[in-house]
Structures are given as C-alpha cells and as structure tokens.
Amino acid sequence: MTWVGDNLGLIWDQLREHLYLAILPVILGLLIAVPLGYLATRYAWLANPLIAFGGVLYSLPSIALFIVLPAILGTQVLSTINIVVALTIYTVSLLIRNVIDGLRSVPPEVRQSAIAVGFGSVRRVLTIDLPIAVPVIFAGLRVVTVANISMVSVGAVIGIGGLGELFTAGFQRDFLTPVVVGVVLSLLLALIADLVLVGLQRLLTPWARVISMVKVA
C-alpha cells in the first residue's frame, strides 16, 4: 500500500495515457465506420465484403498489429501512433457491422416520409437514420470500448501501454502490488467507460424512455 502512496503521480499519468490510447481510437473508428457503413447501405454489394474483411482484421492478434504497423506506416516501433492506429483498425472492423445493421434497422416508411417532407440525403442521414441506428451502433461501441481498454495494456510489451507498464514493472521486480493496481484500475476504467456510454445512449435517444413509459401505461 505504501507503494501506491509513493507512486500516485506515476499511476495517474499512466491512467491518463491508458484512457487516451483506448478512447481516441474509438472516436476515430466511429468517424470512419459511420461513412463506410453508410456507403455499404447505399451500395448493398459493399456490405458483405466489408463485414468479412472486418472479421479478418479483428482476428489479428493485437501484439502482431502493434509490430507490423510501423513497417506499413513508416513510424517508429515505439511510437504511440501504432497503438492508436491498431486499435482504430479494430474499432472500425467491429463497428462496421453494427453501423450497417443499425442503418438497415431504419424502417423504410420512416425514411420515405423524410424524403416526402423534403429532407435532403445529408440531413436525412444525420437527423433521421443515424439517431434511429443509435442503439445498434452503441451496442458495438460498448463492446469495442471495453475491448480497447483491455488491449492497450498489451502495448506495454513494446514499451507503451498506459497501465500495462505497471504490469511489466511489477513483473520485472517480482512485486505484486503494481500488477494488482493495474488490473483493478483497468477493470474500473472499463466499467466507468461502459456506464458513460450507457448514459450517453440514453441522452441521445430520449424517445426510447418515452416509448417504454407509454408501454408501461
């Protein structure tokens, strides 16, 4: 316990780095997956190859991706960019399926009403299609956020890994406390991130609560 007190600054820095390395890819991945998913609903032949390709990318071990990426990107092996790009790839490959499923879940009559009332395609996608797809997209976001938070630690093998560095530090000195602190904080971070996403989803879909209240009444 004295170790924790003595190293609060270090733990805090690593927690912040961990959060940054896990969440930035989620945001980037979402920004890439939504337009891709939209294209796949617009040009239906794109959907299956995109989902299949995503499946293959998702099966790549993270440590392998962290190492192979520098060769492709021309970055340094020990650069945080590799972690961010690798996790962004995972995010996109998993989210693409949810975005496509979500956009497909928009009832055709709703879409047609929007067109009939005079919505242009951009305004329709942003204000009608995406909000209706929110629950399905968020289901994917929750999975990928939690997975990213646990995957960042693996980066510690190549020297960048937020809380993962507590694991390697503890291991090298045969000292249990940093490892336990790292595992607990990593789990807590995942739990909090998940709760934030649940809250965000409620904020973005206020009608969902109204509908369930109407059903109860």
Partner 1 sequence: MFEYLFDSANWSGPEGIGARIFEHIWYTAAALGLSTLIALPVGLLIGHTRRGAFLAINLGNAARALPSLGLLMLAVLLTDQIGFLPVLIALVALGIPPILTSTYAGLSGVDAATIDAARGMGMTGREILTKVEIPIAMPLIISGIRGATLYIVSTATIAALVSLGGLGRYVVDGLKLRDFPQMFSGALLVALLAILLDALFAVASRVAVSPGLRNN
Stretch that binds partner 1, among 6-14, 38-46, 172-180, 205-213 (CB under 8 A): 172-180
The neighbour count for residue 203, using CB atoms within 10 Å, is: 7
DSSP for residue 75 = -
67, 132, 134, 204: which one binds partner 1 (CB under 8 A): 67
Q: How far is the CB of 154 from partner 1 (least distance, A)?
A: 5
24, 134, 139, 158: which one binds partner 1 (CB under 8 A): 158
Report the candidate in 11, 10, 21 with the shortest Cα–Cα distance to residue 155. Answer: 21
Q: Which is nearer to partner 1, 91 or 153 (CB)?
A: 153
14, 41, 62, 82: which one binds partner 1 (CB under 8 A): 62
Residues 97-133, buried b or exposed e (16+ Cβ, 10 A)?
bbbbbbbeebeeeebeebeeeebeeeebbeebbbebb
- Rounded distance between C-alpha atoms, residue 79 and residue 75, angstroms: 7
Contacts of 35 (CB under 8 A, 6+ apart): none
39, 115, 176, 210: which one binds partner 1 (CB under 8 A): 176
Site string for partner 1, 84-123 (x = CB under 8 A): ----------------------------------------
Report the candidate in 157, 148, 160, 159 with the shortest Cα–Cα distance to residue 186. Answer: 148
Stretch that binds partner 1, among 8-16, 70-78, 108-116, 195-203 (CB under 8 A): 70-78
Stretch that binds partner 1, among 5-13, 69-77, 108-116, 202-210 (CB under 8 A): 69-77
5, 9, 61, 107: which one binds partner 1 (CB under 8 A): 61
Q: What is the 3-state secondary structure (H, E, C) of 199-216?
A: HHHHHHCHHHHHHHHHHH
- Rounded distance between C-alpha atoms, residue 142 and residue 213, angstroms: 25
Q: How far is the CB of 108 from partner 1 (least distance, A)?
A: 25
Binding site for partner 1 (CB under 8 A): 55-56, 59-68, 70-71, 77, 143, 146-147, 149-154, 156-159, 161, 163-164, 167-168, 170-171, 174-176, 179-180, 182-183, 186-187, 190-191
